[in-house]
């Protein structure tokens, strides 16, 4: 009997990182092969959830390119969760938004790294910033404001960018009780305490009534580590750092090799209905 076919009718929650997994960082350049694979897994009844460090504004652009009306988005490394639906104003509804007090973060940054650029996320709009960021560095619109204005409202995420930001700021920031994701030595994403893509994805899983054993994650970054541990099945992109590849259950191809599409096609091959599985395995037994 051909054991490669697994008879199951399980509905999967397939969570996917965006930057470096579906498209190059800061873009919406998703290959047709990946777009088609996502459409096919959704047509088969599975849930595709975008789980990203991007702001909601940036994630919504990708959802639009993929035609993901009716899906869920976990944005800002788990601080913001939204449902996409074209019938709602703006095309989405916020399901969960957790925020932090910006003032302690900014005060510490100004004391230890005075020249750091700061971006404070405004959900669904973009960022208020202390200095301009290049297109693609942050998603959505930007408005340069004073430090006094940056701290006026709680925010889901604060970005700090400076040479050696990680060395100078990561440990002191964690001592404040916030979550720190290090995207690079010069870039830190700060979100409220105890949040990750995994914490938000588990809330989505419960909303969708998907069994814990029917969860999948595909990603490539250090901020994906918790989600890879959370998922029953996880794949790291082939270009992911060694630490991320070691955490994942398996490794797929690189972005250039369309590794995400390879995973989706494999899941479709595994997820044939029991009736089809019996027909196929019977023919080769």
Structure token pair of residue 129: 């910033």
Residue 55 lies in a domain: yes
Task: Check: CB of residue 102 under 8 Å from CB of residue 128.
Answer: no
Q: What is the CATH number of the domain that holds 222?
A: 3.40.50.1000
Domain of residue 81 covers 13-97+195-284
End-of-domain residue from the set 129, 164, 191:
191
Q: How far apart are CA 176 and CA 193, in angstroms?
A: 9
Residue 6 lies in a domain: no
Q: What is the CATH number of the domain that holds 168?
A: 3.30.1240.10
Same domain, 151 and 163: yes
pLDDT over 90 percentage in the chain: 88
pLDDT tens digits along 256-272 = 999 999 999 999 998 64
More confident residue, 1 or 55: 55
Same domain, 142 and 73: no
pLDDT tens digits along 199-236 = 999 999 999 999 999 999 999 999 999 999 999 999 99
End-of-domain residue from the set 169, 191, 213:
191
Residue 203 lies in a domain: yes
Same domain, 152 and 76: no
Same domain, 146 and 272: no
Same domain, 44 and 91: yes
Residue 274 lies in a domain: yes
Question: Residue 279: pLDDT above 60?
Answer: no
Same domain, 93 and 206: yes
pLDDT tens digits along 76-111 = 999 999 999 999 988 999 999 999 999 999 999 999
């Amino acid at each position: 009997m051909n054991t490669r076919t697994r008879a199951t009718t399980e509905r999967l929650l397939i969570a996917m990182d965006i930057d470096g997994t579906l498209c190059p960082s800061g873009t919406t350049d998703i290959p047709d092969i990946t777009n088609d694979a996502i459409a096919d897994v959704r047509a088969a009844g599975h849930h595709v959830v975008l789980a990203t460090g991007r702001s909601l504004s940036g994630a919504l652009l990708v959802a639009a390119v993929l035609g993901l009306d009716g899906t869920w988005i976990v944005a800002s490394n788990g601080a913001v969760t939204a449902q996409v639906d074209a019938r709602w104003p703006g095309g989405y509804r916020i399901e969960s938004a957790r925020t932090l007090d910006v003032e302690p973060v900014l005060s510490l940054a100004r004391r230890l790294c005075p020249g750091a650029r700061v971006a404070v996320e405004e959900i669904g709009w973009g960022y208020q910033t202390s200095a301009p960021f290049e297109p693609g560095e942050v998603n959505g619109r930007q408005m340069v404001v004073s430090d006094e204005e940056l701290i006026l409202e709680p925010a889901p995420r604060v970005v700090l960018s400076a040479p050696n930001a990680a060395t100078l700021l990561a440990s002191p920031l964690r001592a404040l009780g916030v979550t720190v994701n290090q995207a690079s030595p010069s870039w830190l994403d700060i979100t409220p305490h105890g949040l990750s893509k995994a914490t938000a994805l588990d809330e989505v899983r419960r909303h969708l009534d998907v069994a814990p054993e029917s969860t999948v994650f595909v990603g490539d970054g250090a901020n994906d580590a918790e989600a890879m541990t959370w998922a029953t099945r996880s794949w790291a992109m082939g270009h992911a750092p060694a630490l991320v590849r070691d955490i994942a259950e398996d490794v797929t191809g690189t972005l250039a090799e369309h590794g995400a599409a390879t995973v989706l096609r494999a899941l479709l091959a595994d997820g044939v209905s029991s009736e089809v599985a019996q027909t196929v395995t019977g023919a080769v037994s």
